[in-house]
Every structure is written in C-alpha cells, then in structure tokens.
Structure 1
C-alpha cells in the first residue's frame, strides 16, 4: 500500500492505493473526515477497507481530503472542520428539526472546496464521476451527501457514516434527479451526538426520492464499527464491478 500527500483542487489530501505500478485505478473513493478530527483521521479506515477486500487495494484509489477550517482557536491545533457547528449541539437540548431545514453557515464554502477536489480527482485519474464514490463520517458525511446531490453527473455511490439531514427541502428536490443512486448508510443506535432518528429521516428522504439505500443500524455510539466497515467494503466492491 502506498500513500502520498498532495493538493487536489482546494484541499490537501492523502492518497492511498495498492495499485500495481503504472496501473490506473478503476474506481476512486473520496472519504471526508468528521468535525474536530485531524485530516488523516480516515487513513486507517481506507487501509482497513483494502485489507477486508484486497481487490479494492489493487483496483481502487482512496482520496482523503482534509477539511478547510482549522480549529486552533478552540484549542485543537491538529483538528479540522468542514463548517462551524452550533455549541448547543452538545447540550442535549438541540432542535434537530429546525437544524435540518437550514443551510449551516460555511456549508457553501465547504461544498465549493469538495467539488473542486472531486473535479481534480476525476482529472488526475481519468475517471468520470460515475466511477467515483463519495463518502464521509459525521459532518464529512453531510458534505459528501450535499456534493453527491449537486454534481453535474451522479457519482458511483454515496457512503454516509453517522451522518444526518441538513438543508432538507433542497436535498429533497435534488434527490429526485438521483433516482437509483446506490447509498450505504450506517448509524449507531446509541449515538448521543447525532441521534439515529435524524439518520432515519435522511434515509427516508433518499428512499422516497428513489435512491437505492442500504441502511445499517448498529449497536454503538457515534463511531465506526467492524460490521459497518465489512458492509461498506462489500458496497465498494459492488461499485467496482458495476459497469
């Protein structure tokens, strides 16, 4: 497995694969980390996916962008964010219904940065958007979903890991143009940060719009679980083999 650091579009990225020398990737997977994590947070996840399904390592390139916002002023010098989050989210008294209807401050800038990275990955790999999977954990899953619904062409798939519903009305309208898009969505039943009910609302919105959603609830908190990575690896293999 090889890893290099490079800038793709507006974002600094870690690029990982196990491709034979000189072989182009048949699929690209772009995974966005969550709020407050370092830019390299999902590197072990990409490595685990390639270990679970070695064919992914030999035929797929993983791109792990770092979010644009530093959190040094919050005392987290190595942490990044896609957009600011309201501090009320941590109080347990958060109005999720209201939040799901709004566009978070900073989302537009994060969207622009991610779309520039997707475009740069497509150019660097000579892959169409239909051979690029978007995904992310928590806030990264929100950004990945937003971009997947906005690209000029549908991506190969979408992986939402402990994500939630935002800009509800706009996502609902845009999802109508993504009928049939394969989606893998995992969420912990005991998530006390982004409650599973908010993930279920996102699942229902996408399903009702005609997207092909594979939903995995698991017994765990706001985290990634081994069974989730197993299912995600299988999901990526299906996208790899799809033509």
Structure 2
C-alpha cells in the first residue's frame, strides 16, 4: 500500500541523527499531530530528531459504518468490546505494518539513520499499528510507544513472538512505552494493562504510565515521560526503571 498523500515531515531543528514515525488515530489526520512534534522539539536533547507523520487511507470501518461512509483508518474494526483486541483486521494491520517498515527502510537507506535510532509511535488506532509492528518485527528499533491504545490480535501476537524467540533474544526486542489515562472512556484502562502485561511476558522492556484524570487524549506529563523514554534509548538521558 503506497502512501497518498506523502507523509508530513517535521524536520529536525538541528542536524538529524534520529527519527520518530508517528501515526494518528481513527478518523484523524497527520496535521492534528504537528503540535506533538513541536512540543517534543522544545526538549533541546531532541532537536536532532525528525518526525514523519503519515496519513491513513480512507476505508469503511464496520463498527461505525451505518451509513456507508469512509474515514481515515489504519485497519478495520468489526466490534468494540472486551474482545476488540482479538477481533481486528489482520490484513489491514499487516498492510499498515508494511507501510511503517518501508518508512523505516527509507530512513536507513536514504538518510543513514540506523533502525536503533528510529522510533515508532501512535495515538489510539495509530498506536495499535506501532505496537503491532514493533513487537512482531525482526529488526531491533530504538523504541516504540503507544498513547491511549492497546495491542491488537494480542493472543496471536504472543504465539508469533514465542515462535521468533529462539532467533530474537529479549536483549534485541524493541523497548516499549505505554501511556494511558485512567479516565479514558474509549480505550479502557484494563485493555492497556492487559497490553502491558502481555508485552512484558514477551520479554520486551516496557514502561507503563497511567495519568490520573486524563481521558482519550495526551497531557504534558505524558509527553515529558515520553521524551525521557526516547532520550534514554538514544543514550542521551537518564536510565528509567521499567
């Protein structure tokens, strides 16, 4: 699946030495997340980081498709309940994973940024794709982060990762940051907790933060914690406990 339009690029204020690829949520677009790049660039230690903000293609989403309309979506969502993390569109997820991995490859091939200095992240449905890509990929990235999200196809992902285990030791697994509000009415907190537990069980270094009073959104403290996570894994910040 090709990207049309091309991703929105927020250049590094200083010479680029790292990249963050960030995916927006369902029915959203890249322009609404430019503020995140600017906020993170306020941290002087991240001024060498380029942001790539792709847009999802328009597709029909079963759950909200009562009138046949399409919306920007990374994959289809057939149902929305406590089994939603299993009832996802594998074909759509894998296609979106392919887009992310092609962007990673382009950063390495065209700009010389090694995978170890590339981070995948996203909000809500975009976070689903970022986590799915990071934990199932065979390459080791700098890190992955999911904001107000969950890991889709969680039981199938566990099986895949266990099959990969002999070839990919836990020391090479991409570290993960998860941030979630305890008041999120859309993606329930216990979905995020289940995701964190599952990723830890896969041998993935994981930091899980819960923000009091936060709904389906971000907050300054979450972005501050995310910046610390990224700096830690770029080896330019203090070590945080996981």
Query: Is this a same-fold pair by TM over 0.5?
Result: yes
Gaps of 5+ in 2: 237-242
Do the aligned partners of 2:12 and 2:51 also contact (CA within 8 Å) in 1? Answer: no
2:17 and 2:189 mapped to 1: Cα distance? 34
Aligned-CA RMSD value: 2.6
2:72 and 2:192 mapped to 1: Cα distance? 23
Counterpart secondary structure, 2:226: helix
CA separation of 1:221 and 1:178: change in aligned 2, threshold 3 A? farther
> Which ranges of 4 or more aligned residues in structure 1 deviate by more than 3 Å?
73-77, 173-178
Q: Which of residues 218, 221, 224 is equivalent to 1:224?
A: 218
CA apart distance, 1:75: 9.6
Q: Which of residues 73, 82, 106 is equivalent to 2:74?
A: 82
Matched, 1:104 2:94: no
Matched, 1:117 2:111: no
Counterpart secondary structure, 1:100: coil
TM-score normalized by the length of structure 1: 0.81
Match of 1:129 in 2: 115
CA apart distance, 1:162: 0.8
CA separation of 1:18 and 1:101: change in aligned 2, threshold 3 A? closer
Do the aligned partners of 1:10 and 1:114 also contact (CA within 8 Å) in 2? Answer: no
2:108 and 2:3 mapped to 1: Cα distance? 14
Do the aligned partners of 1:136 and 1:161 also contact (CA within 8 Å) in 2? Answer: yes
Deviations 1:96-130 (Å, cap 9, x if unpaired)?
23x32344252222222222222222222212212
Q: Which of residues 33, 37, 50 is equivalent to 1:61?
A: 50
Deviations 1:116-151 (Å, cap 9, x if unpaired)?
222222222212212211111000011011111233
1:179 and 1:69 mapped to 2: Cα distance? 36
Gaps of 5+ in 1: 1-8
Matched residue count:
222
CA separation of 1:214 and 1:46: change in aligned 2, threshold 3 A? same
Counterpart secondary structure, 1:236: helix
Deviations 1:3-26 (Å, cap 9, x if unpaired)?
xxxxxx635211113344xx3x22
TM-score normalized by the length of structure 2: 0.82
Higher RCO (CA-CA < 8 Å; seq separation 6+)? 1
